[in-house]
């Protein structure tokens, strides 16, 4: 855990959030800056900077958290699909240097970053 990392503080309970789902190594919560209602984050409980730093032994827990979160937000938002997005390093627009995955519910004809889904 890094003392100055916001996701580490959330993982430790120093910053309170409503968790959508959690298992031994990951948890999910709503993104604070949602462009699409239901935009959620899946975050590792331990501090890893990028996906390349994740040990393969926790891959099934990552997939579990992504799937359970996507199902819950799709049901809640009545979405027809979803994106899983993971930015790694500054060149790929990773802002928080703690590995996390964006789960973005989508509906036909919605707009995300100017992109229309048909």
Which residues carry out catalysis? 100
- Collapse the DSSP code of 6 into the 3-class scheme (helix H, G, I; strand E, B; otherwise coil) and give the result: helix
Question: Which CA distances in Å does 107 have to 3, 8, 57, 59, 104?
Answer: 38, 32, 34, 28, 10
Q: In 3D, which of 91, 86, 102, 94 has the Cα closest to residue 36?
A: 102
CB 21 within 8 A of CB 69: yes
Which secondary-structure segment (H or E) carries 19?
A: strand 19-22
């Amino acid at each position: 855990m890094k003392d100055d990392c916001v996701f580490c503080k959330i993982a430790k309970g120093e910053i309170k959030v409503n968790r959508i789902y959690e298992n031994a190594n990951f948890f999910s919560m709503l993104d604070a800056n949602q462009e699409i209602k239901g935009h959620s984050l899946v975050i590792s409980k331990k501090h890893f900077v990028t996906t390349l730093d994740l040990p393969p032994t926790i891959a099934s827990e990552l997939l579990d958290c992504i799937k359970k979160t996507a199902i819950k937000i799709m049901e809640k938002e009545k979405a027809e699909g979803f994106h899983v997005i993971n930015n790694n390093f500054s060149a790929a627009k990773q802002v928080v240097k703690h590995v996390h995955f964006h789960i973005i519910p989508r509906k036909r004809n919605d707009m995300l970053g100017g992109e229309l889904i048909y």
